[in-house]
Structure 1
Amino acid sequence: MLRRVHIRIASVLAGIACAALLSAAFAEETKEPGTLTFTVENDVVSGQDRHYTNGLRIAYVTAPVTPNALERMLSKDGDTVRRSFSLSQQIYTPEDLFTDTPDPDDHPYNGYLFGEASVLTERDGRWDLYTLEVGVVGEGALGEETQNWFHRTFDFWEAEGWDTQMDTEATVNVSYDWKGRPWAEGKIGSLDAEFTPVAGFSAGTVAINARAGGMVRIGPELVPNFGPARIRPSLTGSGHFSKGGSWFVFAGVQGRAVAHDLFLEGSFFQDSATVEAETFVADFQGGIVAEVGKAQLSWTYIARTKRYATQDNGGDQFGAFSVGFKL
């Protein structure tokens, strides 16, 4: 009975988030369309099934809006202001999925279901992204149901240790992300090339970290584009892109100084399985983005260094695919 209640709570939260997303999509009546993006992240492309094993995200970025009182505080005169709404799920598991008593030194089981509301300000190729993130972890996040449904559908084994995940708990986090104007621009043959710096931080019950890095893009006649949509804590793009036919390849790196990671160290408010988080984690990524008419497709391959001290199988690799549409 309690489990069904948790599922209903999560379903209500998901419905509220979807309603907010759809209402935002139809609230803007400007000539420039908004952008709807779907993102999938999974480690199947690397032959792994462990740790951060799956991520799903649907997001909507509005057309430029007239700033409200809060948005005027976060922007300057002349900035282009957009709003973003998203719903995401992430799934974390240990390496050994075949036991109902997982190794205490391996990654704990956990699911995370969350919505985000963001303000995006842009000026001359630079942007600032302010995000409020609210969600649930534990049983109510439906990680077990999602993973085992997928595995049953494709005739894979089912994970046996989900009963060890933490109890359902509400979460809140705030984040700030900054992408500057290109620090270096040039030519490689007939192609444009640029390097763009990034930085940010997150604080709350899910993650406390500070991060910095950069991205190189190479392509014909580059226009401002902040990279493909990703799911935090990855090197994230804005979700907004300019219509037109273009493409570019990219490579990036982001380092994070980690003060707290709920998925490794557990909650501030309940006892659960934990491992010792690494203080510094780095992501290395590369991929390609193609814009065709009103659509943008991207593919990214990510290599992530060890996230916890007893992780004895090296870092992790996973892929990310996203497709965005101008509505």
Structure 2
Amino acid sequence: MLNNSILFWSLCIWCVLAPEAIISQGLADNSGPSHQIEFRHDNDFLFLTDRYYSSGLFITYRTLLNKGFLKKGEEQLSFSLSQEVYTPSQTQATNPEVFDIPYAGFSGLTASWSVAKENELISASVLLGVAGPNSGAGGFQRWFHNVVDISESPLWIDELPNSFHANLYFSQIKEWNISSAPLGILFAFKSNLALGTRDIYIEPEGIFYFGKRNELPQSIAYDRIRSVDREIYVGFRFSYRQVFHNGLLEGNLINNNAAFTTPATNSVLRLGLDFNNRFKRSDVKFGIRYNTAESPLAKAHKYIILAYGYRF
């Protein structure tokens, strides 16, 4: 099991580092930043909870393409390593029949392509990953709790078994400038679609932005990395997710041999607050996320997002 985890993470690291050499002929070579490394951490600790989506770690590399697939628009590629931790509320219970969701760990690699035009962005992503003990998520959480010693470590009983996942994600964004002065106000509508063994859903989303923000193809709001112009703004987002399958609650869609699973709630409301600041080559992000119960046995949940990216 340990050897499988080491092999998986070695493959993931190679997949992140190799693309730069493979696609170097297509990278943007004009002035301004054309690469970014970002570190992101999600956690619910500020809300004094340790349940449901308990934490997430993400390391992302982004690069601009000079010779892309389309004639118009600025194209980017990104590669992201991630590890996510999901736990029930009853982290000290030994009987899984009282759990509101199963223990689930997930580690994966996401490759994304996007193109941005004046007021529109289209993106497509492929996620490959493993759920279960081989993800290393449960072991990492237990290690962290033992080292920090701030609370008892979750027991990780009847964790979802090892399984491979593949998923596709698509999104399209349209944006409108409502006001430029004295306070910049923009509104964006985003359509999200997920298909695969981990997630199947559709999710329309609306986002309001207030403050100093660059145009869509140059903005930190959509992880665009070209501009060094200052941005500082607040964003409010709201969405409705129609869920058809959640593999981290219901098990793998194709090969589910989990000892314990829970059904997924079909309708989930999601709210968010963002505070983003871009200065020179640094991007700093702070966010709060809230969602209604994702399982009939669970409750609503909220967590924070912290991220720092450097462009070069």
TM-score of the alignment, normalized to the shorter chain, above 0.5: yes
Classify 1:321/1:150 alpha carbon distance in 2 versus 1 (closer, same or farther; 3 Å): same
Cα offset for 1:91? 0.5
Query: For residues 124-157 of structure 1, what are the alpha-carbon distances to aligned partners after superposition, in whole Å with 9 as ceiling and x for unaligned?
Result: 1311111111000001011211111111121134
Tell me which amino acid in the other structure corresponds to 1:142: G
Cα offset for 1:158? 4.0
SS of the counterpart of 1:8?
A: helix
Tell me which amino acid in the other structure corresponds to 1:48: T
Distance 1:249 1:212 in 2: 20
Alignment match, 1:231: none
Alignment match, 1:212: 204
Alignment match, 2:139: 145
Alignment match, 2:238: 253
Equivalent residues of 2:96, 2:157 under 8 A apart: no
Note if 1:123 corresponds to 2:123: no
Equivalent residues of 2:189, 2:205 under 8 A apart: yes
Distance 2:152 2:226 in 1: 39
Alignment match, 1:30: 29
Tell me which amino acid in the other structure corresponds to 1:46: F
Classify 1:145/1:318 alpha carbon distance in 2 versus 1 (closer, same or farther; 3 Å): same
Classify 1:106/1:29 alpha carbon distance in 2 versus 1 (closer, same or farther; 3 Å): same
Tell me which amino acid in the other structure corresponds to 2:257: D
Q: CA RMSD in A?
A: 1.9
Alignment match, 1:186: 179
Tell me which amino acid in the other structure corresponds to 1:186: S
Alignment match, 2:281: 294
Distance 2:165 2:118 in 1: 35
SS of the counterpart of 2:296?
A: coil
- After superposition, where does 1:95-174 map in structure 2 within 5 Å? 95-174=89-168
Note if 1:20 corresponds to 2:50: no
Alignment match, 1:233: none
Distance 2:66 2:243 in 1: 34
SS of the counterpart of 2:185?
A: strand
Equivalent residues of 2:213, 2:219 under 8 A apart: no
SS of the counterpart of 2:175?
A: coil
SS of the counterpart of 1:277?
A: coil
Alignment match, 2:56: 55
The alignment of Structure 1 onto Structure 2 pairs a total of residues equal to: 303
Equivalent residues of 2:130, 2:165 under 8 A apart: yes
Equivalent residues of 2:34, 2:225 under 8 A apart: no
In structure 2, stretches of 5+ residues that fail to align are: none
Query: For residues 237-296 of structure 1, what are the alpha-carbon distances to aligned partners after superposition, in whole Å with 9 as ceiling and x for unaligned?
Result: 446462222211111012110000011112231322111211111210112101111001
**TM-score scaled by structure 2?**
0.91
Range with greater deviation from structure 2 (129-138 or 244-253): 244-253
